[in-house]
């Protein structure tokens, strides 16, 4: 199988409040990059400045396919306690195709390694959560083995976040930490989803740093969701 990314599910638009492109601009870049699937995952309600609930309730107006690119609609939920609780509930929960659950500084403080790990494990055990977002930040130290094992057991993917590999990222020691996470994913056969975490259209589909890392450590291609459109179902919510 050719190792070429065919989907990008961690993306943001103007609706997130601190991103700079429209859905149309993101779609145009996705097409240009040869993507087959584009997912939009605006930040959930606890993130300052994000979209109101009504935004997520109106996904019905978004086409399912635009110029050969399939559109799926998700959300990036905020984990807000050591149990892995997230800020997504009805009436919008049932509208989501997928849910990424992440730790963000405006929404939760560092609980130290045991409780940070418990938070991600709790999120992975939530049947509504389909992806654990960017578990690679020294602001939230974790035990990668515990998180990867829980994700594998609960059919939850772990994100390889391309933004965390950017030297300008606000996350601390992302490149070092994501290597540890990927080795844990290899060990427990955890599925991995590459995400650009795009906050501007020019980042859509640009997985160069993630791809270089996967090649460097010879990570199994069969564990990377992005390389096969048929693997999308792994991260879609079961409705």
Where in the chain are the domains? 7-235
CATH number of 7-235: 3.20.20.140
Residues whose CB falls within 8 Å of the CB of residue 119, separated by 6 or more in sequence, listed in order: 79, 81, 82, 83, 84, 103, 108, 111
Summarize the confidence of residues 165-172 as an average pLDDT.
Answer: 96
The most distant pair of C-alpha atoms in the chain lies apart, rounded to whole Å, by 46
With contact defined as beta carbons under 8 Å apart, do 10 and 158 qualify? no
Q: How far, CA to CA in Å, does 12 sit from each of 23, 38, 42, 121, 201?
A: 8, 11, 5, 25, 9
Distance of alpha carbon 49 from alpha carbon 221, whole angstroms: 37
Q: How far, CA to CA in Å, does 184 sit from each of 150, 172, 175, 179, 197?
A: 11, 19, 15, 9, 22
Residue 72: strand pairing partners: 39
Summarize the confidence of residues 128-146 as an average pLDDT.
Answer: 98
Looking at the predicted structure, is the pLDDT value of residue 97 above 60? yes
Looking at the predicted structure, is the pLDDT value of residue 87 above 90? yes
Distance of alpha carbon 153 from alpha carbon 204, whole angstroms: 30
Summarize the confidence of residues 198-227 as an average pLDDT.
Answer: 98
Distance of alpha carbon 234 from alpha carbon 98, whole angstroms: 10
Looking at the predicted structure, is the pLDDT value of residue 137 above 90? yes
Distance of alpha carbon 48 from alpha carbon 107, whole angstroms: 9
Structure confidence at residue 2 (pLDDT): 62
With contact defined as beta carbons under 8 Å apart, do 107 and 80 qualify? yes
Structure confidence at residue 210 (pLDDT): 98
Looking at the predicted structure, is the pLDDT value of residue 239 above 80? no
Q: How many CB atoms lie within 10 A of CB 143?
A: 17
Q: How many CB atoms lie within 10 A of CB 66?
A: 16
pLDDT band at 3; cut points 50, 70, 90:
confident
Q: How many CB atoms lie within 10 A of CB 57?
A: 12
Backbone angles phi, psi at 16, to 5 degrees: -75, -15
End-to-end CA distance of the chain: 30
Q: Note the pLDDT tens digit of each residue in 52-82.
A: 999 999 999 999 999 999 999 999 999 999 9
Summarize the confidence of residues 204-213 as an average pLDDT.
Answer: 98
Tell me what the pLDDT averaged over the chain comes to: 97
Q: Note the pLDDT tens digit of each residue in 175-199.
A: 999 999 999 999 999 999 999 999 9
Q: Note the pLDDT tens digit of each residue in 35-47.
A: 999 999 999 999 9
């Amino acid at each position: 199988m050719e190792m070429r990314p065919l989907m990008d599910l961690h993306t943001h638009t103007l609706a997130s409040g601190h991103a700079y492109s429209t859905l149309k601009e993101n779609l145009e870049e996705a097409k240009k990059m040869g993507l087959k699937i584009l997912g939009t995952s605006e930040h959930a309600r606890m993130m300052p400045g994000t979209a109101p609930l009504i935004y997520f309730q109106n996904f019905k107006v978004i086409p399912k396919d635009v110029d050969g690119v399939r559109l799926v609609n998700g959300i990036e939920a905020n984990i807000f306690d050591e149990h892995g609780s997230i800020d997504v509930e009805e009436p919008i929960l049932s509208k989501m195709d997928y849910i990424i659950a992440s730790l963000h500084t405006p929404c939760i403080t560092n609980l130290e390694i045991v409780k940070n790990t418990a938070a991600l494990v709790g999120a992975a055990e939530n049947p509504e959560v389909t992806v654990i977002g960017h578990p690679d930040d020294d602001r939230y130290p974790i035990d990668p083995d515990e998180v990867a094992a829980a994700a594998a057991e609960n059919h939850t993917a772990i994100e390889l976040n391309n933004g965390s590999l950017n030297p300008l990222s606000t996350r601390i020691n992302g490149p070092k930490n994501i290597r540890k996470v990927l080795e844990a994913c290899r060990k427990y056969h955890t599925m991995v989803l590459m995400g650009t975490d795009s906050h501007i259209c020019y980042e859509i589909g640009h997985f160069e740093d993630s791809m270089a890392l996967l090649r460097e450590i010879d990570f199994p291609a069969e564990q990377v969701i992005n390389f096969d459109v048929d693997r999308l179902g792994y991260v879609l919510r079961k409705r």
